[in-house]
Amino acid sequence: MIAGIEDRMTDKESTAPQAGATDVIAHVGPDATLLIVDDDGPFLRRLARAMEARGFTVETAESVAEGVAKSKANPPKHAVVDLRLGDGNGLDVIEAIRQRRDDTRIVVLTGYGNIATAVTAVKLGAVDYLAKPADADDVYAALTQRPGEKAEVPENPMSADRVRWEHIQRVYEMCERNVSETARRLNMHRRTLQRILAKRAPK
């Protein structure tokens, strides 16, 4: 799991008041179907609850295979797809959706080291990409943003130190918490990495 992602999805966000039918149509549209594909189970469930509270009809998938199957069976109007999944690449899910529906609003989730793939996803038809950790408000804003609208600048964006820390944590988790392998991939001295890992996350 990527460190910090659970912290960003607060209980307040996951239990937001249920949207009324008029609000749902105004912001989400008449077709509120949403497919969320992510192999981080706790994050997936929290995001699903948060999106249901905001008026979406949610289906979830924890793998490329499951995401593709659900896209074929019932192509959604909205989709949130993690690009790095345990059994492959989320781009396959995007392609499966696009083969059956050309009006789906797709938002992709990506780690900081995977921005190039996110750009490819946009070329395939995703409307936006969000770097992890992303919260429910970020996802909702991206899904409901109208053409020509500009995303608002966050009031409290992460500092450069926090972005660096998040990236290090992500690589550390990818390396199954192997310090030596993480240091090698980051081109960093092992002791320097150990000192960073021992500290609290910067603000």
- What architecture is the 160-198 domain classified under in CATH? Orthogonal Bundle (1.10)
Q: Where are the alpha helices (DSSP H) in 82-153?
A: 91-100, 115-124, 136-144
Helices 115-124 and 91-100 cross at an angle (nearest 10°) of 10
From 19-28, 58-67, 173-182, 191-200, the region with the lowest mean pLDDT: 19-28
pTM exceeding 0.85: no
Check if the beta carbon of residue 89 is closer than 8 Å to that of residue 118.
no
Q: Where are the domains of the chain?
A: 33-144, 160-198
Pick the more confident residue, 35 or 157. 35
Check if the beta carbon of residue 67 is closer than 8 Å to that of residue 43.
no
Tokens 């793998």 found at: 63
Average pLDDT over residues 58-75: 96
Evaluate whether the domain defined by 33-144 bears CATH number 3.40.50.2300: yes
Q: What is the pLDDT of residues 8-46, one digit of tens each?
A: 454 444 444 444 444 444 567 789 999 999 998 888 999
Q: What is the pLDDT of residues 53-65, one digit of tens each?
A: 999 999 999 999 9
